[in-house]
Each structure stands twice: as C-alpha cells, then as structure tokens.
C-alpha cells in the first residue's frame, strides 16, 4: 500500500492501525530504513516479529513511541540524564535503554529487564504510533544478521510474505540506525554507535554534567 512519506494519508494509517490492533505486523518507513511494527505490549504480536526476522531470543526489540509522555507506560523510571539526552537529541537518532516496567513482555526485553525506547521522527512512523495509541516495535525489516531495507524492492521475499501490511513510502536515505545508549546505570553506556557518533554523545554527557 503506497503512503506519502511526508504527509501520510489517513486511510493508509487507519489500515495499518487496524492491523496492529488486531495483533498483526506492518512494514513501514522510518528515518533510515524500513521497520517492522507490532503492538509492543502484545506478547503474541512480539513473538511474530521474532519469528518473521528469525531473531535470536536473547536480542531485545526496541520500541517506538509517539510522544514523550508514553515513557511512563514503559520505563520504571526516567533518569535525569535520560531526560537531558532526550531534550538534546529527540526525536529520532537516539534510542535510550531504561529499566522496563513489569507490564512489558519478557520476550520484548529478551529477559534483560531493560527496554530500548525511541521517539519516532519519520512522519509515517510517528503518525502510526500516535494513531495506534500504543508503543510499537521499531526493529528493522530484515532477517536477523542481514542488511536493512532502504526500499521495498529490497525487502526479503520471506518477510514480505509474512507481514500483514506493507506501507511503501518510497526510497529512504539508508545508512546506519539510531545510536543506542543505556542509561540504567550511574554512567551512560553507548551500546551501539549510529547516526549520532560516540564522541558526540560523550561530549553531550560531559556538557550536561
């Protein structure tokens, strides 16, 4: 299903929301690559994402939210450092790992007790999360260990057959994903360097302190 990447049609978003609320999985555009979206609080839906990606059980899935207020639904607490990094780098580009609330499916966190959260930046992703009213998974639309998908033509046939809906927003810019920072401890830890370089993150932390 085609969707305008800058101003998504209400009909396309409504159809995707219907799929997600019924436990389905949607392929949709994000800032850099296409992602797989499912209700992050629905254990069965999360399990489907793992199966579609053939993702190892010990690898957590990150979650997209549409507004910062949703953090309290997912994280046990929001450390002051996390709030300052959000103020500096959100939306997009940065995923923050926090302590997960007990309502979060263990499958989503891979039993770590932590959850990676990012504020959606792409117009389609943001509209989808906001209209769903629930956090959704934001993992890349590729088989585990394979390269991400910059356009639907690159989407693995196996994934295309298993998802319930594809929102085709055209070619994306590609590149690396978000930078992932764990803020559960006393000192933030850069888990994955992405759109924001590690030196930039460390400089931001230093300036905040």
pLDDT of residue 139: 94
pLDDT of residue 59: 95
pLDDT of residue 31: 87
Distance CA 125, CA 130 (A): 9
pLDDT of residue 171: 95
What is the average pLDDT across 168-188? Answer: 92
pLDDT tens profile 71-100: 989 999 999 999 999 999 999 999 999 999
pLDDT above 90 for 174: no
Distance CA 205, CA 188 (A): 8
Distance CA 128, CA 28 (A): 9
Whole-number mean pLDDT of the chain?
Answer: 95
pLDDT above 90 for 207: no
- pTM score: 0.94
pLDDT tens profile 99-109: 999 999 999 99
Nearest Cα neighbor of 183 from 128, 112, 114, 137 is: 114
Query: Domains along the chain?
Result: 10-81+96-176 (3.90.870.10)
pLDDT of residue 27: 98
pLDDT above 80 for 209: no
pLDDT above 90 for 175: no
pLDDT of residue 173: 85
pLDDT above 80 for 138: yes
DSSP string, 12-75: HHHHHHHHHHTT--EEEE-SSSEEEE-BTT-HHHHHHHHHHHT--TTS---EEESSGGGHHHHB
């Amino acid at each position: 299903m085609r969707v305008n990447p800058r101003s998504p049609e209400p009909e396309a978003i409504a159809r995707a929301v219907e799929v997600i609320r019924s436990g389905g999985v949607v392929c949709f555009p994000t800032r850099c690559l296409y992602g797989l979206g499912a209700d992050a609080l629905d254990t069965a839906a999360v399990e489907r994402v793992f199966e579609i990606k053939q993702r190892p059980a010990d690898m957590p899935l990150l979650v997209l939210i549409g507004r910062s207020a949703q953090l309290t639904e997912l994280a046990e607490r929001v450390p002051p450092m996390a709030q300052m990094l959000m103020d500096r780098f959100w939306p997009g580009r940065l995923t923050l790992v926090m302590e997960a609330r007990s309502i979060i499916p263990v499958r989503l966190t891979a039993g770590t007790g932590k959850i990676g959260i990012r504020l959606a930046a792409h117009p389609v992703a943001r509209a989808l999360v906001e209209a769903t009213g629930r956090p959704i998974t934001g993992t890349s639309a590729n088989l585990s260990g394979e390269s991400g998908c910059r356009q639907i033509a690159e989407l693995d046939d196996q994934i295309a057959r298993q998802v319930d809906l594809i929102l085709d927003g055209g070619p994306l810019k590609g590149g690396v994903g978000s930078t992932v920072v764990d803020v559960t401890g006393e000192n933030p830890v850069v888990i994955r360097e992405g759109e924001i370089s590690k030196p930039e993150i460390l400089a931001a932390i230093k300036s905040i302190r």
